Amino acid sequence: MFILLLIFTAMGKVRVFSPDQLRDEFESKYSGGVIQASLGNFGNPTYGTTILGKVHLPVKISELDGCMPLSPIQFEDDPSHAVSPIIMLDRGQCYFVIKVRHAQDIGAKLVIIVNNNDADVQSLIMTDNGFGGNLDIPAVLISQEDGNLIKKYLKDSKFSEKVSLSISFDMKKASGKVKVSFFSTPTSESGRRFMFDFKSYGSKFNKDNLEFTPHYMLWYCPKCEETNYNIDHPDCISGGRYCSFDPDMEGHLTGRDVMYEDLRQMCLYKYLRYNKDYTKWFKYHSEYYMQCSDEILETKCSEDIFKAMDIKPKSINDCVNISFTGKNPYLDDNLMMREEHEHLLQNYLPFYPSIVINEQIYKGDLEAVAVFEAICAGYDYGTAPDFCGVDYEKDKEKNDGFGTVFIVVLVILCFVLVAGILVVYRMIVKKDLNRDMRVQVNSAVAQYFQLAEMPEK
């Protein structure tokens, strides 16, 4: 089955800056001399900017794959040191993030990874293995053939000091109103954390300058399909048409609880559709992260947040109930989930949580400020909201100076210090437990097929 892809993958546009001979070779091979590349889904590429840098190979042959700590390179000796140093490494032998971290440790600003086979690199995605959260530099994957051509010039004494590339991180543009879709699931710790962190940024937008749409990852039950969806599966609704994996394995929760929280959130989004901005939407997710972490998927926890927001839980529950085509939610189809199903079929997503900006998949760390900057980069020149020109990190620091309440704050901090240490310890333990849980969950997911399948080539 061929699937129409409405979403484009973010690519770093790689071009040769010098020498002229190498640039000419690529311009004769590719339109505009843009080297085919795939941007890694980690690090923090700054969308709307370009990196210009001299390319370096590791000092030792044994370091070419970047799997061992790299020997220092004296980048400051480069007469054109104003540009950003780029390290070229070979694919293989270790995780991508390990290579990039080793390059970052010696001061590189970008990593070019050369593929180790002839596969189409634009169909490949360099993913985070779960330990790339502290990477600040981006990485791109290029083909083995293109990498070998660049290496040939790097190894030629006439050109080795002149090989420079430019990498631009472009975002598709929209005039005045950017479209953002967020694909996740209530059981995703990283997704919930992002929504919590993004509240202060997302609440600044309104519906005149941002179209924000949540979407939810779904699976289906193959055995249920064989019976024309007439099986009451505990991890599914609608006879197995829409499922999620069991979030706590042997605990009291099931995939069906995930589906019901999905539906509550869909109904909340509909309930808030006439609001002029997204303040209440992000407030719900912020409170959900804070209050429901230990009671995730519990109906009461969600309803308590609705009440605190002056939203009647009955309004949300009625919306959930009428979304089913019959009175039996365990077997009858669900109209909202059917719509989500169709959306996922049309838009293949290689990973989640995923953010799509102007129909382009955002790649990089799922960090609030980085996503905010990527959204701002999605506006046509002169059409972005005024706050897009504000450096929020610096502005926040400026407003956090010593004031008259400093002594009071200091005293309070002394009282909460011990409690803070306990909270941090609890978060660390929880993170470890989540990691163990993901390992168990991955083995359980095999019983489901993701609704959005990879399109045939």
Report pLDDT for 448. Answer: 40
Look at residue 435 in the predicted model and tell me its pLDDT: 46
- Return the CATH number of the domain spanning residue range 178-394: 3.40.30.10
CB 56 within 8 A of CB 88: yes
Q: Which amino acid is at 151?
A: K
Locate the domains of the chain by residue range: 10-169, 178-394
Instruction: Answer yes or no: are the C-beta atoms of 85 and 75 closer than 8 Å.
Output: yes
For the purposes of burial, counting CB atoms within 10 Å of the CB of 106, is it exposed (0-12), middle (13-18) or buried (19 or more)?
A: middle
Indicate the pTM of the whole model.
0.74
Rounded distance between C-alpha atoms, residue 457 and residue 455, angstroms: 6
* Residue that is written with structure tokens 């669900």 in the block: 334
Which amino acid, residue 433?
Answer: L
- Taking the C-alpha atoms of residue 415 and residue 42, their distance in angstroms, rounded to an integer, is 38
Give the mean pLDDT per block of 10 residues along the chain (457 residues).
40 84 92 88 80 89 91 68 80 90 90 88 74 77 92 89 87 92 91 93 92 92 89 93 87 90 95 90 93 82 94 95 95 95 81 87 86 92 87 43 39 55 53 47 40 40
- Give residue 415's pLDDT: 53
- The answer for residues whose C-beta is within 8 angstroms of residue 245's C-beta and 6 or more apart is 187, 219, 235, 255, 258, 441, 444, 445, 448
Topology (CATH level 3) of domain 10-169: Glucose Oxidase; domain 1 (3.50.30)
> How is residue 376 annotated by DSSP?
H
Q: Among residues 447, 452, 453, which one has the least CA distance to residue 235?
A: 447
- What span, in angstroms and rounded, lies between the C-alpha atoms of 59 and 50? 26
361: three-class secondary structure by DSSP:
strand
What six digits make up the tokens of 230? Answer: 């007439």
